[in-house]
C-alpha cells in the first residue's frame, strides 16, 4: 500500500479474477484476495525440474497425462481443431 492507501489489484471481471492475462489496476485498499501479493526473491525460489512433483499444483513437471471422464465410457478430454474441448475415445493423439 502506498501513502495514499492505493494498492495493486487484479481486475474483477465476471467474478473470475484469477484468470490468465487479467488486467492489474490501482485501487483502494479493501483487504480482498485480489489485492494480496507475495514477494519472492529470485535467488530463494526454485521451480521443480522435469520429472519432479510440483507440490503447488500436484502434477509432475513435463510428464504427459490424460484426463479421463468419470462417465461409464471412460472417454478422454481431447481438442478438436485445437480450440474445442470434447470427450472422445482414446485415439493415440497427443492433444
pLDDT tens, N- to C-terminus, the chain (95 residues): 677 888 888 887 666 667 777 778 888 988 788 888 888 788 887 889 999 998 888 899 999 888 888 888 888 888 888 778 888 887 776 66
- What Cα–Cα distance (Å) separates residue 43 from each residue in 37, 47, 79, 80? 18, 11, 38, 41
Rounded CA-CA distance 37/77 in Å is 33
Amino acid at each position: 500500500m502506498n501513502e495514499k492507501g492505493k494498492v495493486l489489484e487484479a481486475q474483477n471481471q465476471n467474478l473470475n479474477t484469477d484468470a490468465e492475462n487479467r488486467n492489474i489496476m490501482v485501487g483502494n485498499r479493501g483487504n480482498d484476495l485480489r489485492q494480496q501479493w507475495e514477494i519472492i526473491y529470485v535467488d530463494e525460489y526454485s521451480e521443480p525440474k522435469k520429472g519432479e512433483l510440483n507440490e503447488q499444483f500436484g502434477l509432475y513437471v513435463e510428464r504427459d497425462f490424460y484426463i479421463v471422464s468419470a462417465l461409464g465410457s471412460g472417454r478422454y478430454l481431447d481438442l478438436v481443431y485445437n480450440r474445442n474441448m470434447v470427450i472422445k475415445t482414446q485415439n493415440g493423439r497427443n492433444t
